[in-house]
Amino acid sequence: MSKVKDTQQHPNVEIAVKNFGPIAEANIDLRPLTVFVGPSNTGKTYFATLVYALHGAFNGLSDSSLLSSVNPSKVMDILNKLFTGPITPKGEMQEILNKLGMPERPFKSSDLPIGIRQRLSTITTEGDFFTKELQDELKNCFDLHSIPELMRLTGEQRNETTVLLKISERKQEYWNIKIKASESETSLDSSTSLDDSTCEDMVILPKGWRVSGQFADDNSVRVYSIGYHTRDRYYLPAARSGIMQSHRIIASSLITRTTRVGLERFPEVPTLSGIVADFMQKIILYDEKETSTSEMKNLAETVETEVLMGKIRLKPSSSGYPDFCYRPEGIEEEMRLSQTSSMVSELAPLVLFLRNGIKPGDTLIIEEPEAHLHPGAQADMAVILARLVRAGVRVIITTHSDWLLQEISNLTLEGLLEEKTDEPASWLLPNEVGVWHFQKDEPVKEIPFKSREGISPEDYEDVAEGLYNRSVNLQQRLEKKKGESGRESA
């Protein structure tokens, strides 16, 4: 068996919603590979966007580990600001600060006195910060003026929306967060665990580690993940092809509108959703550095050689923004993306992010990875997704492709075999794959994997059966017409 990373490095994340946009009800636990299928306008993109927003609001959907990125000499001031009254003897506090300043080892939560741990636990359950952070993230990602716009509309009446988020790891629940939104208010109730049974696994990392999710004023006591340092999020929206083909024009337009002359000419500038804006920013500010792992770079090369049949190239431009082009195999001349097929511009951002960005532990969300791909290339794309899972990336996709689902089923069957000889590894296991069926005005349901049928949505079967029956009926009518014409000729 190929030696692969443990896909369980991700915490267990369960998200339940009710009356959320077009979704009546859903209770979904994110797997290493999570697939959303179903008719259009049933909430697949809505739920994927929610995952992206929660990831941003709650520090990568991680556990409640505590980190500090500040200079140890400032920690005493921070603790005095956070915790009023005598907490621990001065000598013991100095010992804590000395441990925090040791670069050779992480500072564990268990190094803190129990009084401080209890106070930190109280701080992490206070909802005011999270409520604002979550509201801002939701409004940004969904491009909303107010949270009630997310509420499901039934007739002329909006229903109260609820979102429940649970995060656990190794049978220990860390987060339990419930968000309610009505016409009048948005509330958040949260609880977290910071007891002795979990402290041994929690760490406060030394200065210099990237962190996010500040809690109080300018303090740097933060929530983050066990041992993964940073968990980034990447979203490839359905509009990625057009953005890739016109990103230079978009960048130029945005810069013009940010000048004073531009503001006078365009006083009412329309807004983008946070997801599209994040994607555009990553592309416009793309700087290809040696940051990706060799595994991710090899995967980028696989996409180029086996699917794109050519290379995505980065070229400097006079504007200072990166320019991207495509060089087909066996040809020295390079083509602008606007001159290539839509398949190339669809997959170009995935290649770029694999080269410089996506790391094990990150979350990658792709809308319709099969878009503009030949059925054979769709099957190849399923293999790419499986290799990402094997590399430790959490992958979430929305899809309408039966070809993609069939190949995911095949890769899952391969994972059930005792000998997994493919190298690099691309097999999957049934418990690593979750396929969820979205339908209008009905609860979202999981489609179980079956060794004989694979992954087969009922509506796909209905469409296939309907097309077959229609074909048989038309053929019978055609034969009947031919017979009648023959008799008339005779």
- Alpha-carbon distances of 363 from 7, 53, 173, 334, rounded to whole Å: 12, 12, 20, 32
- Is 74 part of a structural domain of the chain? no
Is residue 2 within 8 A of residue 424, CB to CB? The reply is: yes
Hey, what are 65's tokens? 């580990």
Of 257, 215, 189, 181, which Cα lies nearest the Cα of 66?
Answer: 215
Is residue 433 within 8 A of residue 412, CB to CB? The reply is: yes
Domain of residue 279 covers 242-358
Maximum alpha-carbon separation in the chain: 113
Listed residues 340, 358, 376: the one ending a domain: 358
- Is 204 part of a structural domain of the chain? no
> Tens-of-pLDDT digits for all 490 residues of the chain?
334 444 546 778 899 999 998 999 999 999 999 999 999 999 999 999 999 998 888 765 554 433 333 334 444 454 444 444 444 455 555 566 565 555 444 455 555 666 655 555 554 444 454 567 778 888 889 988 888 888 876 666 667 888 888 887 766 776 778 888 887 777 777 665 544 444 333 334 333 333 333 333 333 333 333 333 457 899 999 888 887 877 666 665 555 554 444 444 555 556 778 888 888 888 888 877 766 788 899 999 999 999 999 999 888 776 667 788 899 998 888 888 888 888 998 999 999 999 988 988 899 999 999 999 999 999 999 999 999 999 999 999 999 999 999 999 999 999 988 666 667 788 999 999 999 999 998 999 999 988 878 788 877 878 888 888 999 999 988 888 888 777 777 6
For CA atoms 38, 41, 43, 49, the dihedral sign is positive
Phi first, then psi, for residue 433 (nearest 5°) are -120, 130
Which stretches does DSSP call E strand in 31-156? 33-37, 65-68, 107-108, 153-154
- Is 326 part of a structural domain of the chain? yes
- Is 89 part of a structural domain of the chain? no
Number of structural domains the chain divides into? 2
Is residue 65 within 8 A of residue 225, CB to CB? The reply is: yes
- Is 257 part of a structural domain of the chain? yes
For CA atoms 227, 396, 50, 189, the dihedral sign is negative
Is residue 346 within 8 A of residue 245, CB to CB? The reply is: no
- Is 176 part of a structural domain of the chain? no
Listed residues 327, 358, 389: the one ending a domain: 358
Phi first, then psi, for residue 423 (nearest 5°) are -140, 120
Listed residues 331, 358, 385: the one ending a domain: 358
Say what the pTM is: 0.77
List pLDDT tens digits, range 276-311.
888 888 888 887 776 678 889 999 999 999 999 999
List pLDDT tens digits, range 222-268.
333 333 345 789 999 988 888 787 766 666 555 555 444 444 455 55
Task: Please state, in angstroms and rounded to a whole number, the distance separating the CA atoms of residues 227 and 267.
Answer: 47
- Is 480 part of a structural domain of the chain? yes
- Is 279 part of a structural domain of the chain? yes
Write down the pLDDT at residue 221: 36
